[in-house]
Amino acid sequence: MKKIRILVADDEPKYVWAIQTNLEARNYEVLTAADGQQAVQLAADEQPDLILMDIKMPVLNGYEACRRIREFSTAPIIMITAMAEETDKVRGLDLGADDYVTKPFSVPELLARVRAALRRIEFAEGVPPDSNFEAGELRVDFAQHRVFVRGQEVELTPTEYRLLCELAKQPGRILVPNYLTERVWGPGYEDGDKLIRQAIHRLRRKIESDPRNPEYIRTRSGLGYVFLPSE
């Protein structure tokens, strides 16, 4: 059975050693990079299944490395950062990161985030190959993980894509934030409501003609979100 390959990019040796040791102890194959440029090159050459990446790195910082990796890879990216401000986290998510872990972190927390990200890959791969969804000017090709609005392809991050799929699979049903958080990110997220609001905001900017007056993703105040393309 092929080992899951994880790229760890961080310029602090103590963090690289701790992460690599714990991942290898759980039978993951680990690649390491000491700067953002090396991380981009390894991601392109080795095609890892998952990427753990620090933000403050030499040559290319984690933001720029994430942006470049997203040009050719849909592998989940978990940002590792000492920058705990919400604006820093949102910037990473906007550039295509799927999750973040704040330094200092516990090993169990990091491993839980890794397992959750890998489970999301399994969920995406489990979609029937002939599945499609169309509503108005929106079309989702589940087989190829592609989204089109008015015939033009829209580039979504893996997180945005999973969120749209979860909503589109249950049109007309109000989905509460806790449910969406667990389905899209996995269990164990204390700031689930905030994550969902941010992700919904980014998704609306990409698929709605008027994000302030959405046609597809509606908010039900105090309840959650509902996909109502025909309303």
**pLDDT for 178:** 82
Q: The domain that contains 57 carries what CATH number? A: 3.40.50.2300
Digits of tens for pLDDT over the chain (231 positions)?
Answer: 678 999 999 999 999 999 999 999 999 999 999 999 999 999 999 999 999 999 999 999 999 999 899 888 878 899 988 866 667 777 777 777 888 888 888 888 889 888 878 876 665 554 444 467 788 888 888 777 789 998 899 988 878 888 898 888 888 888 888 888 877 876 666 556 777 888 899 899 999 989 899 989 999 888 889 887 654
Q: The domain that contains 152 carries what CATH number? A: 1.10.10.10
User: Domain of 67?
Assistant: 5-125
Report the domain count for the chain: 2
pTM above 0.75, yes or no: no
**pLDDT for 129:** 45
Say yes or no: 56 and 84 in one domain: yes
Beta-strand relationship, 5-9 and 77-81: unpaired
